[in-house]
Amino acid sequence: MSGLEALDRPLATLAFCWRIERRDGVTIGLTSHDRDLAIGHLLYRAAPGMTPSAVRSGIGVEGSDADVEGALTADAISEADLMAGRWDGAALELRLTEWEAPGDLWLLLARGEIGAVARKAGAFTTELVGAMAALKAPVAPSTSPDCRAALGDRQCRVDLAGRRRVVVVAGVEDAVVAVPGVAAGAYAFGTLRWLTGANGGIVQGVVDNDDGAVTLVDPPPFAVEAGALALLTEGCDRQLATCAGRFGNAVNFRGEPYLPGTDLLTRYPGAA
């Protein structure tokens, strides 16, 4: 049955269903119906805070496909997790179904990724980034002396299999994480992903490290107990010397370190 046929009936039994998959693989289902709906292999839990009027669609040149708003009523989406960024970048599908026959009608209304989540008057609001956002991407990359690739991605091609390490955290003070036995500087500009504890699944950037501690960009959003496990991934400062000397990967360097800059015409004679 199509969506139009369902609306044509004397009594409509329609419900909205949200399928949200976080970057760490956690997937939940929410529905505007007052009872849980089992569709496929996922249980869509009743979430009265997510109402049909809270979804506003409108494609424009700014690349915004939709805004999604809702009160913090779902147990699976806590305010602390939202503000910690656990749901940033999650894949979201909004579909329409009939609660009398869940899944028979499964009309796709919107699909995209959740942008940064903001809090507003006891509710959350987020932008749903869809296909229009791809039109904002540059046709050709801007030149830069630094590498534009991320370590280990398709452009860089460095194998990260031997550059990741599971570590046991001895303690945390502000943004400094005590991790005995790591090589100094090896994880600068890399990432730390929490595997256990209240921060499990959260990925944080690493500023630098010495042989006994790792300094993060921000303190962990939740308290960390001694003995927590984390996955450290090496980073790169995106310089040609590092790419060639440390990784032996100069052939894939995505930058122009020897291209004259915009200050070339303003230099006075004899300037280096």
Can you give 8-21 as a three-state secondary structure string? Answer: HCCCCCEEEEEEEE
pLDDT category at 254 given cuts 50, 70, 90 is: very high
Q: Tell me the three state secondary structure of residue 81.
A: helix
Q: Please give the DSSP secondary-structure letter assigned to residue 251.
A: G
Q: According to the model, what pLDDT value does residue 25 have?
A: 84
Q: Give tens-digit pLDDT for 5-24.
A: 666 667 678 888 989 898 88
| Tokens linked to 108 | 């796709």
Least reliable range by pLDDT among 70-79, 183-192, 237-246 = 70-79
**At which residue do the structure tokens 């942008």 appear?**
115
Q: Tell me the three state secondary structure of residue 207.
A: strand
Give 115 or 190, the one with higher predicted confidence: 190
Rounded CA-CA distance 204/202 in Å is 7
Q: Give tens-digit pLDDT for 38-83.
A: 998 899 988 766 655 555 555 444 444 555 655 555 566 777 787 7
Q: Which whole-number Å values give the CA distances from 63 to 3, 22, 110, 125, 132, in the listed order?
A: 27, 22, 14, 17, 5
Alpha-carbon torsion (110, 114, 118, 123), positive or negative: positive
Exposure string of 46-76, with b = 16+ CB inside 10 Å and e = fewer, is bbebbeeebbeeeeeeebbbbebbbeeebee
Are 166 and 231 in contact by the 8 Å Cβ rule? The answer is yes
Q: Are strands 191-194 and 27-31 parallel, antiparallel or unpaired?
A: unpaired
Q: According to the model, what pLDDT value does residue 61 have?
A: 40
| CATH for the stretch 3-136 | 2.30.110
Rounded CA-CA distance 248/29 in Å is 45
Q: Which fold has domain 164-234?
A: Thrombin, subunit H (2.40.10)
Q: According to the model, what pLDDT value does residue 255 have?
A: 92
Q: According to the model, what pLDDT value does residue 60 have?
A: 43
Rounded CA-CA distance 6/148 in Å is 50
Rounded CA-CA distance 211/214 in Å is 8
Give start-end residues of each CATH 2.40.10 domain in the chain.
Answer: 164-234
| Tokens linked to 141 | 């990359």
pTM of the predicted model as reported, rounded to 2 decimal places: 0.71
What number is the average pLDDT over the span 109-123?
74
pLDDT category at 151 given cuts 50, 70, 90 is: very high
Q: According to the model, what pLDDT value does residue 178 have?
A: 93
Give start-end residues of each CATH 2.30.110 domain in the chain.
Answer: 3-136
Rounded CA-CA distance 168/187 in Å is 15
Q: Give tens-digit pLDDT for 23-33.
A: 888 899 988 88
Q: Tell me the three state secondary structure of residue 239.
A: coil
Rounded CA-CA distance 239/70 in Å is 44
